C-alpha cells in the first residue's frame, strides 16, 4: 500500500484550507491565551490581592474559594465550547476541503 | 504462546508471594520518620524539605494539647491483600488477552489505533492522576485548607493546552512517539536521538518519584518492606508493558481511573452525608471547628499573626497558609500548563485513537474526570479536616498524606466496623492500582523512545520488520522496567519530592516549545529542535541542582542549632528529673547529628541555593523557546521550510493519515 502522493502546497493554497487555518488559529490561540491568563489570576490574586479573596460571598464561603472553583467550570465550559465549534465549523470545513480536492 | 502464559502466571504468583511473605513491620504505628519520607508522594510539598523549616515547627508543636490516644492507621491485612490479589488477577487477565492481540509495532505502541475516544479519556485520566494527586492534595487541603485546593487547579487547567494546541495535531501528524512528530521535516537521526533522550529523562524522573512513593506507600499501608514493594510493583509493571503493550497499559489505566473515581465519589457522599448534604453547613463546620481554629492560629503565629476563634477558622478558607512564595507558584503553574502537553506518556495516548475527533473527545472526557476528581478532593480534604482534625491527621503523617485513608476508615466504621476495614482496604487497593497505572504508562513511553526512535530509526535506519520491531519493543520495556526497579531500590533514602516538578519542568522547557514550533512555525528546523530540547532540558535540570530542593548541610545545621536551643530551654523548664517526651528527644538527637554538617556543602558544592525558586519553569521555559528560535535562525534549512505545508495541512486536516488507514 504505497502512500498516495499529495500536492501539499496546492492544498495549503486552497481557499477552503486558508479559511480553516485562519478560523482555527484565531480560535485556538485566542482562547488559549484567555484560559492561561484566567488561570494565572489565581496565584497572582492570592498573593497580591488577599483582601479581595477574603470577601465573603455566601455564608462563610469567600471570593477566593468561588474563584478557584470557577477555574474548573471555565475550563470545562471552554472545552465544551471548543468541541462545539470544532465539530460544527472545523470538521465541516475539513470535509468540504477534502471533497473539493476529490481525495 | 504457552511460554508467554507461563511467564505471566509466574510473575503473578511471584508478586502475590512477595506480598504474602512480607515481614511484619517492626512498628506498625507510623513513626514520624516514615511519615516524613512518605511525603515524597506529595509532589512539591515544602513540608518535605528536611531542612530548618520543618524542624523549626517542633517547638510550636509542643504546646499542642496531648491527645488521649495516638492515632494509628492499620489496614486489615487479609482484606487488603485479597483486594490487591483481585486487582492483580483482573489486570493480568487483561494482559493475557492483550498479549494475543499485540502482533505489530502499531499494536504494541498504539494499541493498533483501536482505542475509542471515551476509553482514551478514561485512560488519560488514569495515566495522569498519581498517588500524589489522590493522597497528597487532599492531605494538603486537610492541613492547610485553601492553598491545597488552589494547588490542584493547575493540574486541570493544563489540559486546555493539551486540548487546544497538541492533541489533534499530534494525532494527525504523529505515529508512536515525540520523535515521530519532531523528525517530520528535520534531519531525522539527530532529532530522534535528542527527542529520545529528553523522553527518557522526563520518564525517569517521574518514574523514580513514583517508584519511591510506591515503595513507601506500600510499606505504610500494608507493612510490606520497601524493597519487596518495589520489586512487586516493578514485576507487575514490566508484565503489563512487555506482554500487553499499549492495549494492556490502556486497560490498566481505565480500570484504575474507574476505581479511583468510585472511591472518591463514595467517600465524598459519606462526607456530605455527615453535613446533612448542606454545603453551607459543611463550610460552617470548617470555620467553627475548634481544632481547626487551634491549628490555624498556630500556623498563623509562625508568621507573627495572632488569630483567634472564628477568625482563625475563616483563615483556613483563605490563601497563604502553605504556599508562601507567589513566584514559585507561578513558576510551577507554568510548568504544569505547558509541561502536561509535553509529557511523552500523555502525548503517546493520542496515537491510540483513530481520528482527531476521537482525540478531541478523549481530552474533554479526561478533563471532566480529572476536574471532577479534584473537586471531590476538596470535599475529602475539608471533610478530613472537620472529621479527623488536622492534629489527628498529623499524628499519622506530618504531610497529611494519609488523611483520605483515615477518613475512609473512620466514616466507614461509623456505619459498621467492618465497613471501615473494607473501605480502607478498598482505598489502599485504589492507591495500588494508581501506582501501577502511572508507572506502566511511563515505562511504555520510555521504551517507545528507545526502541522506536533509537533502535529502529537511528540504528536500523527504519529497516526492521514488524516482528523485529515488536521484539525490540518488548526487550526494551523489560530493560527499562528493570532499570526502573533498580533505581527505585537505590533511591530509598533519596529526596525525590522535587522529581515530579522537575519532570514537568523538563517537559515544559524541552519538549513543548519544539512540539509547538514544529507544528506552527514554517522556518522551524533541525537546529531549532536540537537547540530547544538540549537547552530546555539542561536549564531545568541545572536550575533544580542549585535550587532549594537540594540538601544544604549548612542550612540544615543552622536549623538544627535552633532546635537544640529550643529543646534545651524546654528541658530546663521541665520539673527536675523529668525527661523530654519521645518525639522531642528524637528531634534533639537528630538535630545534634545534623549540626555536625555545618561545614558541608550540597551535591553541587554549594553552601546555600544559588537559585531561590524550587520550580525552574519561569526561567527554563523561556530559555527553551529562545534556544529553539535561535537554533532555527542560525541554521536555516530550505527543505524544512518547503515541507511546512505538508505538516501544516496534515496536522490541521488529517489528510494523509486518514487515507493510510482506509487503504
Across the range B158-173, mean pLDDT stands at 93
- Residue B206's nearest CA partner among B310, B73, B344 is B344
CA distance A73 to chain B (A): 9
3-state secondary structure B110-130: HHHHCCCHHHHHHHHHHHHCC
Give pLDDT tens digits for A3-44: 567 888 888 888 889 999 999 999 999 999 999 999 999 999
**In this structure, is residue B121 part of a structural domain?**
yes
Query: Which residue in chain B is spatially nearest to A46 when comparing CA positions?
Result: B319
Q: Is the pLDDT of residue B587 over 50?
A: yes
Domains of chain B: total: 1
A76 and B CB contact within 8 Å: yes
Residue count (chain B): 663
Q: Is the pLDDT of residue A83 over 50?
A: yes
**Quick one: what percent of chain B has pLDDT higher than 70?**
88
Question: Nearest-CA neighbor of B135 among B259, B264, B255, B28?
Answer: B264
Interface test with A, best of B645, B651, B657 (most A CBs within 10 A): B645
- Which of B339, B316, B264, B283 shows the shortest CA–CA distance to B44? B339
- Residue B444 half-sphere exposure toward CB, CA atoms < 13 A: 37
Side-chain-facing half-sphere of B497: CA atoms under 13 Å: 22
> Using the beta-carbon criterion (under 8 Å), do B660 and A59 form an inter-chain contact?
no
Residue B158 CA to residue B567 CA, distance in Å, equals 45
Name, in order, each residue with C-beta under 8 angstroms of A29's C-beta and a sequence gap of 6 or more.
Answer: none
CA B354, B260, B408: angle at the middle one, nearest 5? 175
Q: Given CB atoms, is A8 within the 8 Å cutoff of chain B?
A: yes
Q: Is the pLDDT of residue B35 over 70?
A: no
Stated pTM of the model: 0.86
d(CA B162, CA B518): 16
A72:B371 CB<8 A: yes
Angle (nearest 5°) at CA B659 between B254 and B448: 45
Percentage of chain B with pLDDT > 90? 55
Residues B402-408: what's their mean pLDDT? Answer: 92
CA B142, B144, B146, B147 torsion-angle sign: negative
Burial of B493 from C-beta contacts in 10 A (0-12 / 13-18 / 19+): exposed
A46 touches chain B (CB under 8 A): yes
The verdict on residue A34 lying in a domain is yes
B654 pLDDT above the threshold of 80? yes
Confidence of residue B661 (pLDDT cuts 50, 70, 90): very low
A81 contacts chain B (CB < 8 A): no
In this prediction, residue B5 carries a pLDDT of 55
Interface mutation vs chain A, best among B280, B320, B655, B660, most A CBs within 10 Å? B655
DSSP states along chain A: -PPPP--HHHHHHSHHHHHHHHHHHHHHHHHHHHHHHHHHHHHHHHHH-HHHHH-EEETTEEHHHHHHHHHHHHHHHHHHHHHHHIIIIIHHHHHHHHHHTT-
- State residue B7's pLDDT score: 53
B243: helix, coil or strand?
Answer: helix
- Which residues in chain B are closer than 8 Å to A48, comparing Cβ atoms? 326
Q: Name the residue with higher pLDDT: B225 or B11.
A: B225
The reported pLDDT for the residue numbered A82 is 96
Contact B164 A32 (CB under 8 A): yes
Q: What is the DSSP string of B446-512?
A: HHHIIIIIIIIIIISTT---HHHHHHHHHHHHHHHHHHHHHHHHHTTTS--TTHHHHHHHHIIIIIH
Task: Name the more confident of B28 and B299.
Answer: B299
Contact: B156, A71; criterion CB under 8 Å? yes
Q: Which domain holds residue A38?
A: 10-100
Q: What is the arithmetic mean of pLDDT over B15-43? A: 39
- Angle at which helices B226-274 and B466-490 cross, to 10°: 80
- Please answer whether residues B616 and B540 qualify as being in contact, where contact means their C-beta atoms are separated by less than 8 angstroms: yes
CA atoms within 13 A on the CB side of B273: 10
List the single residue in A42, A60, A78 with the smallest CB-CB distance to B160: A78
Provide, rounded to the nearest whole percent, the portion of chain A with pLDDT above 70. Answer: 95
Question: What pLDDT is stored for residue B306 in this prediction?
Answer: 84
What's the length of chain A? 103
Q: How many domains does chain A have?
A: 1
Q: So what's the pLDDT on residue B450?
A: 92
- Interface size A-B, in CB pairs within 8 Å, comes to 156
Q: Do B645 and A97 touch (CB under 8 A)?
A: no
Is A69 a member of any domain? yes
Question: Mean pLDDT across chain B, nearest whole number?
Answer: 84
Residue A2 lies in a domain: no
Q: What is the pLDDT of residue B25?
A: 38
Give dist(CA B412, CA B422) in Å, integer: 8
Chain B residues inside the 8 Å CB shell of A37: none
Q: Compute the distance between CA of residue B275 and CA of residue B287 in angstroms, rounded to an integer.
A: 13
Going by the DSSP 8-state scheme, the letter that residue B303 receives in this structure is T
pLDDT band for position B314 (cuts 50, 70, 90): very high
For residue B578, being part of any structural domain is answered with no
Structural domain including B514 reads 2-552+601-662
Nearest to B145 by CA among B299, B307, B334, B40: B299
Does position B228 have pLDDT exceeding 60, yes or no? yes
Q: Please report the pLDDT score of residue B625 as a whole number.
A: 96
**Is pLDDT of B286 > 90?**
yes
A50, part of any domain: yes
pLDDT digits (tens, 9 = 90+) for B128-155: 998 888 888 999 999 999 999 999 999 9
Asked which of B221-225, B256-260, B357-361 is least confident by mean pLDDT, the reply is B221-225
SS3 at position B35: helix
ipTM passes above 0.85: yes
Which residues on neighbouring strands pair with residue A61, listed in sequence order?
A58
> If you average pLDDT over every residue of chain A, what do you get?
90
**Is the model's pLDDT at B603 over the cut of 90?**
no
| Cα B610 to Cα B35, B333, B621, distances in angstroms | 29, 21, 18
Q: Which of A78, A100, A80 is nearest to A20 (CA)?
A: A100
Q: Determine how many CB atoms are found less than 10 A away from the CB of residue B471.
A: 14
Determine the pLDDT at residue B214.
Answer: 87
Residue B651's closest CA among B133, B184, B149, B7?
A: B184
Residue B45 has a pLDDT of 38
User: Does residue B372 lie in a domain region?
Assistant: yes
CATH number of the domain where residue B6 is located: 1.20.1730.10
| pLDDT one-digit tens code per residue, B505-528 | 999 999 999 999 999 999 999 999
Asked whether residue B116 carries a pLDDT value surpassing 80, the answer given is: yes
Residues of B in contact with A54 (CB under 8 A): 314, 318
- Please indicate, yes or no, if residue B159 is contained in any of the structural domains: yes
d(CA B161, CA B167): 9
Cα separation of B18 and B12, whole Å? 10
What residues in B contact A17, CB-CB < 8 Å?
649, 652-653
Of A36, A43, A59, Cβ closest to residue B329:
A43
Cα-based distances in Å from B28 to B74, B75, B76, B222, B420: 7, 10, 12, 9, 18
Assess whether pLDDT exceeds 60 at residue B50: no
Nearest to B318 among A1, A50, A79 (CB): A50
Least confident of B401-405, B421-425, B570-574: B570-574
Interval B551-586: pLDDT, tens: 788 888 887 888 788 778 877 877 777 777 777 777
**What mean pLDDT is predicted for residues B488-516?**
90
Tell me which chain B residue has its CA closest to the CA of residue A48.
Answer: B326
To test the contact with chain B by mutation, choose from A16, A19, A24, A39 the residue with the greatest count of B C-beta atoms within 10 A, namely A39
Chain B partners of A95 at a C-beta cutoff of 8 Å?
none
- In eight-state DSSP terms, residue B104 is S
A46 contacts B326 by C-beta, under 8 angstroms: yes
Mean pLDDT value across residues B588-599: 79
pLDDT range class, residue B194, cuts 50, 70, 90: very high
Closest approach of chain A CAs to the CA of B168, in angstroms?
A: 11
Residues of B in contact with A20 (CB under 8 A): 652-653
Q: Region B425-442: what's the mean pLDDT?
A: 92
Please tell me the predicted confidence (pLDDT) of residue B33. Answer: 35
Which of B47, B557, B279 has its CA nearest to residue B287? B279
B649 with A64: Cβ contact below 8 A = no
Pick the residue from chain B with its C-alpha nearest to A22.
B652
The answer to whether residues B110 and B352 touch, using CB atoms and an 8 Å cutoff, is yes
Q: What is the pLDDT of residues A43-67, one digit of tens each?
A: 999 999 988 999 999 989 999 999 9
pLDDT band at B633 (very low <50, low <70, confident <90, very high): very high
**Which of B58-72, B550-564, B614-628 shows the lowest per-residue confidence on average (mean pLDDT)?**
B58-72
Amino acid at each position: 500500500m504505497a502512500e498516495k502522493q499529495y500536492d501539499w502546497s496546492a492544498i495549503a493554497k486552497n481557499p477552503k484550507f486558508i479559511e480553516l487555518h485562519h478560523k482555527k488559529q484565531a480560535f485556538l490561540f485566542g482562547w488559549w491565551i484567555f484560559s492561561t491568563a484566567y488561570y494565572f489570576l489565581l496565584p497572582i490574586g492570592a498573593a497580591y490581592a488577599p483582601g479581595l479573596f477574603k470577601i465573603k460571598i455566601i455564608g462563610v464561603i469567600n471570593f477566593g474559594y468561588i474563584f478557584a472553583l470557577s477555574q474548573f467550570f471555565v475550563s470545562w465550559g471552554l472545552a465544551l465550547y471548543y468541541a462545539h465549534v470544532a465539530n460544527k465549523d472545523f470538521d465541516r470545513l475539513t470535509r468540504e476541503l477534502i471533497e473539493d480536492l476529490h481525495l | 504462546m504457552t511460554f508467554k502464559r507461563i511467564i505471566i502466571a509466574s510473575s503473578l504468583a511471584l508478586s502475590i508471594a512477595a506480598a504474602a511473605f512480607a515481614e511484619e513491620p517492626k512498628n506498625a504505628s507510623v513513626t514520624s520518620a516514615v511519615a516524613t519520607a512518605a511525603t515524597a508522594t506529595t509532589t512539591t510539598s515544602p513540608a518535605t524539605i528536611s531542612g530548618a523549616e520543618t524542624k523549626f515547627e517542633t517547638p510550636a508543636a509542643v504546646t499542642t494539647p496531648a491527645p488521649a490516644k495516638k492515632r494509628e492507621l492499620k489496614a486489615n491485612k487479609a482484606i487488603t491483600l485479597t483486594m490487591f490479589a483481585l486487582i492483580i488477577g483482573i489486570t493480568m487477565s487483561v494482559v493475557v488477552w492483550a498479549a494475543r492481540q499485540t502482533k505489530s509495532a502499531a499494536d504494541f505502541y498504539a494499541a493498533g489505533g483501536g482505542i475509542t475516544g471515551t476509553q482514551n479519556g478514561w485512560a488519560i485520566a488514569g495515566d495522569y492522576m498519581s498517588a500524589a494527586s489522590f493522597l497528597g492534595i487532599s492531605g494538603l487541603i486537610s492541613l492547610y485548607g485553601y492553598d491545597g485546593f488552589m494547588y490542584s487547579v493547575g493540574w486541570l487547567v493544563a489540559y486546555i493546552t493539551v486540548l487546544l494546541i497538541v492533541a489533534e495535531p499530534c494525532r494527525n501528524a504523529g505515529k508512536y512517539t515525540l520523535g515521530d512528530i519532531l523528525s517530520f521535516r528535520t534531519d531525522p537521526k539527530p532529532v530522534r536521538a535528542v527527542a529520545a533522550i529528553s523522553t527518557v529523562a522526563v520518564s525517569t524522573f517521574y518514574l523514580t518519584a513514583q517508584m519511591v512513593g510506591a515503595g513507601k506507600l506500600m510499606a505504610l499501608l500494608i507493612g510490606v518492606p520497601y524493597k519487596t514493594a518495589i520489586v512487586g510493583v516493578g514485576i507487575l509493571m514490566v508484565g503489563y508493558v512487555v506482554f500487553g503493550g499499549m492495549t494492556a497499559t490502556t486497560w490498566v489505566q481505565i480500570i484504575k481511573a474507574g476505581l479511583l473515581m468510585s472511591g472518591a465519589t463514595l467517600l465524598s457522599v459519606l462526607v456530605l452525608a455527615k453535613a446533612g448534604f448542606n454545603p453551607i453547613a459543611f463550610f460552617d463546620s470548617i470555620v467553627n471547628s475548634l481544632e481547626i481554629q487551634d491549628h490555624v492560629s498556630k500556623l498563623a503565629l509562625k508568621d507573627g499573626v495572632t488569630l483567634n476563634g472564628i477568625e482563625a477558622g475563616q483563615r483556613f478558607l483563605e490563601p497563604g497558609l502553605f504556599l508562601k512564595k507567589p513566584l514559585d507558584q507561578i513558576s510551577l503553574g507554568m510548568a504544569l500548563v505547558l509541561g502536561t502537553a509535553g509529557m511523552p506518556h500523555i502525548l503517546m495516548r493520542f496515537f491510540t485513537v483513530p481520528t482527531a475527533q476521537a482525540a478531541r473527545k478523549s481530552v474533554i472526557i479526561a478533563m471532566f474526570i480529572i476536574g471532577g476528581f479534584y473537586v471531590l478532593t476538596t470535599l475529602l480534604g475539608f471533610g478530613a479536616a472537620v472529621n479527623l482534625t488536622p492534629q489527628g491527621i498529623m499524628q499519622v503523617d506530618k504531610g497529611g498524606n494519609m488523611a483520605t485513608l483515615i477518613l475512609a476508615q473512620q466514616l466507614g466504621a461509623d456505619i459498621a466496623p467492618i465497613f471501615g476495614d473494607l473501605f480502607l482496604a478498598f482505598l489502599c487497593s485504589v492507591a495500588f492500582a494508581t501506582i501501577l497505572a502511572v508507572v506502566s504508562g511511563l515505562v511504555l513511553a520510555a521504551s517507545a523512545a528507545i526502541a522506536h526512535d533509537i533502535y529502529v530509526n537511528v540504528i536500523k535506519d527504519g529497516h526492521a520488520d514488524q516482528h523485529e520491531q515488536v521484539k525490540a519493543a518488548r526487550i526494551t520495556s523489560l530493560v527499562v522496567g528493570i532499570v526502573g526497579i533498580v533505581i527505585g531500590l537505590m533511591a530509598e533514602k533519596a529526596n525525590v519530592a522535587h522529581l515530579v516538578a522537575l519532570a514537568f519542568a523538563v517537559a515544559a522547557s524541552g519538549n513543548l516549545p519544539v512540539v509547538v514550533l514544529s507544528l506552527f512555525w514554517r522556518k522551524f528546523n533541525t537546529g531549532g529542535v536540537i537547540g530547544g530540547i538540549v537547552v530546555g532540558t539542561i536549564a531545568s535540570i541545572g536550575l533544580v541542582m542549585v535550587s532549594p530542593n537540594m540538601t544544604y548541610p549548612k542550612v540544615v545545621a543552622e536549623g538544627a542549632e535552633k532546635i537544640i536551643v529550643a529543646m534545651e530551654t524546654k528541658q530546663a523548664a521541665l520539673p527536675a528529673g523529668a525527661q523530654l517526651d519521645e518525639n522531642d528527644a528524637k528531634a534533639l538527637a537528630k538535630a545534634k547529628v545534623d549540626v555536625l554538617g555545618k561545614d558541608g556543602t550540597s551535591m553541587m558544592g554549594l553552601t546555600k541555593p544559588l537559585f531561590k525558586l524550587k520550580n525552574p519553569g519561569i526561567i527554563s521555559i523561556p530559555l527553551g523557546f529562545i534556544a529553539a528560535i535561535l537554533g532555527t535562525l542560525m541554521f536555516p534549512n530550505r527543505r524544512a521550510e518547503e515541507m511546512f505545508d505538508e505538516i501544516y495541512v496534515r496536522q490541521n486536516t488529517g489528510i494523509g493519515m486518514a487515507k493510510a488507514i482506509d487503504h
